[in-house]
Amino acid sequence: MNQTPKPAAGTAPTADDRNVAALHGVDFAIDGKVIFRGLDIAIRRGEVTAIMGPSGTGKTTLLRLITGQLRADAGRVMVEGRDVAALSRRELYAMRRRIGMLFQNGALLTDLDVFENVAFPLREHARLPERLVRNIVLSKLHAVGLRGAAELHPQQLSGGMARRVALARAIVMDPQLLLYDEPFAGLDPISMGVVLRLIKSLNDALGISSVVVTHDVREISQIADSSYILSDGQVVASGTPAELREHPSAVVHQFMEGLADGPVTFHYPAPDYPAQLLDRSEGA
């Protein structure tokens, strides 16, 4: 439905032309807690970009900044060359229609069957003949291997099937940018492999750009064109999966190898333990 704009013939693409989305020097805090400090990230057109990092580093917050659900305190969030903060409400909603979102838990509507879950964005945002709606929905379900499950309800689906239905719904409007929030969470190895293959094949077949927020280093390394690792509000490393494995940073090494000991500590910051136990002012 949507066509990605291309630079004029005979001109070299600029940095903004190569990026479907980008964050430039973004600061963001919630209730005084700093989430990002001078964050710089570029999402290249046609690529699968992985966003990784320890829990609590703001990976899901990053997706909300891209979609305009949150506004940066400083810096710029650009989507298709436009500053998200400068968009009117009408322009923001139009931008969101060009973005697909796969939520961590699938977020299927339990009162609707599979067909109607996938058809929901079309019915909300497009005035199409019912026959065309049917053809589009069935084609998207076929793309994720679930055309035969169109009449089932979410409670009749396995976790992997539900995630694939949610993916069909995410691509039903033919988005230019597809965002995945922990798409492998809770999946068995077979379902994870299926979803992993779908992310890559759909990205290539549809000519879209994908951002995958995930903790699953080994799995996403199979399909990511580039990756960013976030820690302490900033990008601590970026590059291909192979480059990240050779990165000298202790934080990157700990995350990529899944090590319990390292700069990312087990304990949340707290007062000295023995002193706190002996502090009579806090208890009875």
Dump pLDDT digits (tens) for 62-82.
Answer: 999 999 999 999 999 999 989
Q: Which of 94, 29, 96 is nearest to 69 (CA)?
A: 96
Instruction: Give the residues across from 102 on adjacent strands.
Output: 180
Taking 80 as the threshold, does the pLDDT of residue 280 lie above it? no
pLDDT of 2: 47
16's tokens:
């903004």
Taking 50 as the threshold, does the pLDDT of residue 272 lie above it? yes
Q: Does a structural domain hold residue 35?
A: no
Q: Does a structural domain hold residue 38?
A: no
How many structural domains compose the chain?
A: 1
pLDDT of 186: 77
Q: Does a structural domain hold residue 201?
A: yes
Full domain range(s) for residue 126: 45-60+89-266
Q: What's the CATH code of the domain at 94?
A: 3.40.50.300
Mean residue pLDDT of the chain comes to 83
Contact of 251 with 228, CB cutoff 8 Å: no
Percentage of the chain modeled with pLDDT above 70: 85
State CA 73 to chain mean position distance: 21
pLDDT of 260: 58
pLDDT of 256: 65
Q: Does a structural domain hold residue 73?
A: no
pLDDT digits (tens, 9 = 90+) for 17-35: 788 999 999 999 988 889 9
Q: Does a structural domain hold residue 232?
A: yes
Alpha-carbon distance of 84 to 66, in angstroms, equals 8
Separation in Å, CA 18 to CA 38, 78, 81: 21, 12, 10
> What single string gives the DSSP state of each residue in 113-172?
-HHHHHHHHHHHH----HHHHHHHHHHHHHHTT-GGGTT--GGGS-HHHHHHHHHHHHHT
Task: Kindly report the pTM of this predicted structure.
Answer: 0.79
Q: Does a structural domain hold residue 181?
A: yes
Taking 50 as the threshold, does the pLDDT of residue 7 lie above it? no
Contact of 99 with 77, CB cutoff 8 Å: no
Alpha helices, DSSP H only, in the chain?
Answer: 15-18, 59-66, 89-96, 114-125, 130-143, 159-171, 189-206, 217-220, 241-245, 250-257, 273-278
Q: Does a structural domain hold residue 65?
A: no
Q: Which of 10, 188, 20 is nearest to 98 (CA)?
A: 20
Taking 70 as the threshold, does the pLDDT of residue 243 lie above it? yes
Q: Lowest mean pLDDT: which of 5-19, 37-51, 62-76?
A: 5-19
